[in-house]
């Protein structure tokens, strides 16, 4: 198919999807209903606090699954890199001279020192700060300080330890365990079409920040339901969305949450043909286990990566605020700043502040179980996915 025809076809198809989602959201709005799971689901609080279980689950759900660690637009040019530590593994992701993105363990092959400080940057080579061994952006050991006095070693055997890495739909996926590979297309399945529809490679980054938050599951649970939006976010993101109205679609472990905007009220009596199919709903895409992509206001998007900390009680969240295009006017700049400060307030001062109180209660005997309601089906799915992965790993062991 000709490219422009294909694009047109995609747009029409996407409009059909958005129209259908708007129709489903509007039906709930009219009836005061929401998508529901079959029944409420209890989950034992040890799932949130048992340190041994935490390590086993991190191993299965983070160290042996592909994680979206960066956006393609963070590393557009050859030599652009991002270094970070993810569940104890220091990683460096770098775009090579051939345009391919590769990932390595950020550790020197001489005696293991970190070769690159955490952060995003640009470099032609990475020189270890300890004894100045230098590596190319393709991970090859290319020079050693005082090589003659050191003696001969085989450079081909001493490249940086490579991790499986793939780029799809504007996201860079990495597998943290050396030697393991992943069939990313099988893992994402048809969810790839959803990710592609976001066109992440064409946005611009407005701002990036890191937030300390409560434990892994406490933090993520909050991204997976809209039950709390009226009560907790009444002054921030809840102003725009209808609390407790969820349309849910799943692709294996990955989920798309559709929230209704308050403007649904304006189209109750409007014929479908007149709808602006992008105006009255808000989509949140969750790629298991820790990526949430949320288009909150037209032209702005929030990407959140939630990284489990060293204990079950902490996480670090990387928030990347995107804009459809870099702000050109004062007004556009102001709109970006308003968006950025609103999501900061909603997540840090509302979601994670409440999350902190949940962490405190986990240290008491107040609850033996938490309960997820029928109106929290995406949270239920998330916990079922963890349980299923743990069962499968047990079956293989
Ligand atoms: S540890 Fe890197 S050069 Fe020695
Ligand atoms: Fe929230």
Q: What is the pLDDT of residues 294-305, one digit of tens each?
A: 976 668 999 999
| pLDDT at position 204 over 70 | yes
Q: Which residue has the least CA distance to atom 3 on ligand 1?
A: 131
The CA 97 to ligand 2 mean position distance, Å, reads: 41
Ligand 1 atom index nearest CA of 128: 2
Ligand 1 atom index nearest CA of 145: 3
The two three-digit tokens of residue 384, written as one number: 């079922």
pLDDT digits (tens, 9 = 90+) for 349-377: 999 999 999 999 999 999 999 999 999 99
- For the chain, residues classed under CATH 3.90.380.10 are 3-60+190-396
What secondary structure letter does DSSP report for 313?
A: T
Which of 106, 108, 117, 127 gets mutated to test ligand 1 (max ligand atoms within 8 A of its CB)? 108
Ligand 1 atom index nearest CA of 112: 1
| pLDDT at position 3 over 80 | no
The two three-digit tokens of residue 172, written as one number: 């860079």
Pocket of ligand 1 from Cβ distances under 6 Å? 108, 110-111, 113, 128, 130-131, 133
Chain position carrying tokens 């952006």: 137
Give the per-residue pLDDT at 6: 59
**Which has more pLDDT, 397 or 20?**
20
The CA 127 to ligand 1 mean position distance, Å, reads: 9
Question: Is residue 259 within 8 Å of residue 282, measured between CB atoms?
Answer: yes
How deeply is 281 buried, as exposed, middle or buried, from its count of CB atoms within 10 A (0-12, 13-18, 19+)?
buried
Residue 1: which pLDDT band, with cuts at 50, 70 and 90? very low
Residue 2: which pLDDT band, with cuts at 50, 70 and 90? very low
Report CA dihedral (60, 64, 70, 75) to the nearest 10 degrees. Answer: 170
Residue 395: which pLDDT band, with cuts at 50, 70 and 90? low
- 0.75 exceeded by the pTM? yes
Ligand 1 atom index nearest CA of 131: 3
Residues of the chain above pLDDT 90, percent:
92
Residue 7: which pLDDT band, with cuts at 50, 70 and 90? confident
| pLDDT at position 68 over 50 | yes
- Please tell me the number of the ligand nearest to residue 127's CA: 1
Residue 4: which pLDDT band, with cuts at 50, 70 and 90? low
pLDDT digits (tens, 9 = 90+) for 133-185: 999 999 999 999 999 999 999 999 999 999 999 999 999 999 999 999 999 99
Q: Which residue has the least CA distance to atom 1 on ligand 1?
A: 111
Instruction: Please tell me the CATH code under which domain 3-60+190-396 is placed.
Output: 3.90.380.10
| pLDDT at position 249 over 90 | yes
The two three-digit tokens of residue 213, written as one number: 């938050």
Question: What is residue 83's three-state secondary structure?
Answer: strand
**Selecting from 2.40.128.120, 1.10.287.130, 1.10.3720.10, 2.102.10.10, what CATH number does the domain 66-181 have?**
2.102.10.10
- For the chain, residues classed under CATH 2.102.10.10 are 66-181
Mean pLDDT of 249-256: 98
């Amino acid at each position: 198919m000709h490219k422009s025809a294909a694009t047109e076809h995609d747009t029409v198809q996407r409009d059909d999807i958005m129209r259908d989602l708007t129709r489903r959201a509007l039906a709930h709005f009219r009836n005061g209903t929401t998508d529901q799971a079959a029944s409420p689901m209890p989950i034992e609080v040890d799932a949130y606090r048992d340190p041994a279980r935490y390590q086993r689950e991190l191993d299965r759900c983070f160290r042996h699954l592909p994680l979206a660690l960066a956006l393609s637009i963070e590393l557009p040019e050859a030599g652009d890199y991002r270094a970070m530590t993810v569940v104890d593994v220091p990683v460096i992701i770098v775009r090579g001279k051939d345009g391919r993105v590769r990932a390595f363990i950020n550790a020197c092959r001489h005696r293991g020192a970190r070769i690159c400080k955490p952060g995003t940057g640009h470099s032609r080579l990475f020189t270890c700060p300890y004894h100045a061994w230098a590596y190319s952006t393709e991970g090859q050991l290319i020079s050693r300080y005082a090589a003659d006095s050191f003696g001969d070693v085989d450079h081909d055997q001493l490249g940086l330890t490579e991790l499986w890495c793939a780029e799809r739909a504007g996201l860079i996926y990495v597998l943290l365990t050396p030697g393991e590979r992943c069939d990313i297309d099988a893992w994402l399945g048809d969810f790839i079409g959803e990710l592609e529809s976001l066109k992440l490679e064409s946005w611009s980054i407005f701002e990036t920040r890191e937030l300390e938050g409560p434990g892994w599951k406490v933090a993520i649970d909050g991204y997976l339901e809209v039950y709390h939006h009226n009560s907790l976010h009444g002054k921030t993101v809840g102003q725009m969305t209808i609390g407790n109205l969820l349309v849910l679609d799943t692709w294996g472990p990955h989920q798309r949450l559709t929230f209704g905007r308050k403007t649904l009220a304006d189209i109750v009596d409007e014929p479908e043909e007149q709808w602006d199919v992008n105006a009255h709903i808000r989509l949140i895409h969750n790629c298991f286990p820790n990526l949430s992509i949320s288009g909150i206001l037209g032209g702005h998007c929030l990407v959140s990566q939630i990284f489990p900390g060293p204990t079950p009680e902490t996480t670090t969240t990387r928030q990347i605020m995107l804009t459809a295009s870099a702000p050109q006017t004062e007004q556009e700049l102001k709109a970006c700043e308003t968006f950025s400060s609103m999501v900061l307030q909603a997540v840090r001062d509302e979601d994670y502040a409440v999350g902190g109180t949940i962490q405190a209660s986990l240290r008491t005997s107040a609850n033996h179980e938490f309960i997820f309601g029928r109106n929290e089906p995406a949270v239920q799915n998330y916990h079922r996915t963890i349980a299923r992965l743990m069962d499968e790993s047990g079956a293989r062991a």
